Amino acid sequence: MHRIAVLWGRAEDYAHDPLYREQFPLVVSRAVAALPVLVEIALPFVQKFGFLIAYKGPKAEIEIKQAQQALSLVGGQSGWRAFDRKL
C-alpha cells in the first residue's frame, strides 16, 4: 500500500498541526466517540471533497441525526449513509 499514514497520539493535538490538517482524502475511525464528537475530532483531518468513514454501532441512525449541527459547525457537508452489516 502506498501513501498511507498511521499516527500515534491524540487526534485533538494533531488536528491543530498544519502538517496534518485537511491533508487526507479519507479518514477512518472505529469506537472513538459519539458521532457529534467524532465529527469535531476527525473532520479537521479530511481534505476538501474527502470522506470520513465512521464505524458505528446499532444507534448509528440516531447519531447521524445528532451530528448534523456539529457537521455544520466544522464546515462539513452531509452525505451520511448508514449501512447495516451483520457478522
Task: Indicate the pLDDT class of residue 87, thresholds 50, 70 and 90.
Answer: very low
pLDDT tens, position by position, 43-84: 889 888 888 888 888 888 888 888 888 888 777 776 766 565
CB 20 within 8 A of CB 43: no
Whether 35 and 58 have beta carbons less than 8 Å apart is answered as no
C-alpha span between 57 and 62 (Å, rounded): 10
Question: What predicted TM-score, i.e. pTM, was given to this entire model?
Answer: 0.74
Residue 52 belongs to what H/E stretch? Answer: strand 46-55
Strand pairing partners for 55? 30
pLDDT digits over 4-47, tens only? 777 788 888 888 889 988 888 988 887 788 888 888 888 889 88
Q: Which residues touch 4 (CB under 8 Å, ≥6 apart)?
A: none
φ, ψ of residue 26 to 5 degrees: the values are: -145, 130
What pLDDT score does 76 carry? 75
